[in-house]
Amino acid sequence: MKRLFVVASLLVLLTGCSRNAITGRSQLSLFNEADIQSMAATEYTQFLSQNKVISTSGSKDAEMVRRVGQRLTAAINNFYANQPDIAQELKQYKWEYNLVDSKEVNAWCMPGGKIVVYTGLLPITQNEAALAAVVGHEIAHALAKHGNERMSQATAQQLGGQALQIAIANKTPAAQNLFMSAYGIGSQVGALLPFSRKQELEADRYGLIYSAMAGYNPQEAIPLWERMAKAGSGQKPPEILSTHPAEATRIQKLQELMPEALKYYKPVGK
């Protein structure tokens, strides 16, 4: 019986691996991306209906979030325009950018381009370029399909992939909880699934590149994460750090990635 379980587990892992078009890395993806994006659209609409969304009308902060989102996604679409496999995936993205009134220090991007920034994050970002670094990082997680990978890894051991695939397609409560946990949306759903070091490095790298391509100075990411680490030293660390570990080595890694990112940097208007 144990041998059969091991064989079945290997079959799940082998048949569930696919190559990510952006990172080039093989990753475990047990869930259909179309189903995940459909659930994302549903959960995003529900989330916005249950929280206070700051309108861009009369709000400089909300307008900034929209502007940052639009500049980033325009740069991303332009960058991948000549790469058919990625450009085709991006056609399925229906980008949305919203600022939500909450003290939480958090931001996230669901599959399909559903972005939320919490007002509690803005005192730490302090400027538009730093906000672009955060949003670019979150977009990178979505494009690299890290949420799908985390959900797949969490279920592969239980051989529940097929059952959960059906659950995702049918948007069952269990699937919703798994989805929200994987994408770091709200702590009320239970333990959040942390990103791996490899996923974080990928998001850091591409997030810096995306913000640079959009005309934001990627070097603002260094003081940003220094401020984030300082905010995380209190009794209640920022919610974003539940899934994005603030380690001392992170800033060192960002510094190592900076020369590559700066190659893409051209300030707007120059």
The residues carrying an active-site annotation are 138
Phi, psi of 193 (to 5 degrees): -85, 115
Buried b (16+ CB within 10 A) or exposed e, 190-212: eebbebeeebbbbbbbbbbbbbb
Cβ(40)–Cβ(114) below 8 Å: yes
174 vs 164: CA distance, rounded Å: 9
- The rounded distance, in Å, linking the Cα atoms of 112 and 37 is 5
Spatial contact of 39 and 175, defined as CB atoms under 8 Å apart: yes
Do 251 and 107 form a contact (C-beta atoms < 8 A)?
A: no
Angle value at C-alpha 145, between 136 and 107, nearest 5 degrees:
40
